Amino acid sequence: MERILTTKVIMHRAKSDKLSSITKLLLSTLDLTDISAIRQLPNLEIVTLSLNRVSTLRDFSFCPRITELYLRSNRIADISEVKYLVPLKRLRVLWLCGNPCADTPNYRLTVIRTLPSLVKLDDKEVTAKEREEAKKLNTDFEVDGLRKDVEEEKESVRRVADGENRNENVVSAVLLLLKELDGKSLEIVRRDIDRKLGKS
């Protein structure tokens, strides 16, 4: 059964009522399978999602400010999934041990080659020798198409967020106006609301 991460859970765990203000998120051992809500957190910097059932890294490509990403013991099977972390230019620490992809031959070198900004992979610092060896690997993943996809989806997320903000502004304006109305006017408004909701 799918366990979907919701924005409500995110705000509760982060103790924040605004998604854009969240920079740190601790979501280990929640049995999560769908974490796409993370795409709505543009300022996220530190993420802990160890011991869940996450199977793709794609959602993190929408969070370019991430510096530390902990995904120990999930279900990332394909080593090429690391291509989704290429847009994360600030990423310094990544934990993928305990995922099936970590059993791939040349796992460490492949990740280091794909993500040269890393200083620590799993429980070990990235060494200068590893960086040199990684350069010799022929494991470049296709990222050009990915960048286009990410930009298109970011624009889609932005449009949704803009729509939500407009709705919030309209509701605030209506509530302010209601304070100015007398009883008779409020009754007219109530009848109109009931009609729109199909209750009359």
Q: What is the pLDDT of residues 12-55, one digit of tens each?
A: 999 999 999 999 999 999 999 999 999 999 999 999 999 999 99
Mean pLDDT, range 123-138, rounded to an integer: 93
Residue entry with tokens 């291509």: 83
DSSP, res 26: E
Mean pLDDT, range 171-184, rounded to an integer: 67
Tell me which residue of 51, 40, 48, 43 sits closest to 13, measured CA to CA. Answer: 48
Write down the pTM of the prediction: 0.73
Mean pLDDT, range 125-135, rounded to an integer: 95
pLDDT band at 169 (very low <50, low <70, confident <90, very high): low
The answer to which of 115-119, 137-141, 160-164 has the lowest mean pLDDT is 160-164
| Tens digit of each residue's pLDDT (9 = 90 or more) over 56-65 | 999 999 999 9
101: which 2 tokens?
A: 């992809």
Query: Which residues sit opposite 48 in a β-bridge?
Result: 26, 70
Contact between residue 37 and residue 58 where contact means Cβ atoms under 8 Å apart: no
Tell me which residue of 51, 101, 93 sits closest to 72, measured CA to CA. Answer: 51
Classify residue 157 as exposed, middle or buried by CB count within 10 Å of its CB (0-12, 13-18, 19+): middle
pLDDT band at 137 (very low <50, low <70, confident <90, very high): confident
Which position has the higher pLDDT, 80 or 153? 80
What share of the chain in percent tops pLDDT 70? 78
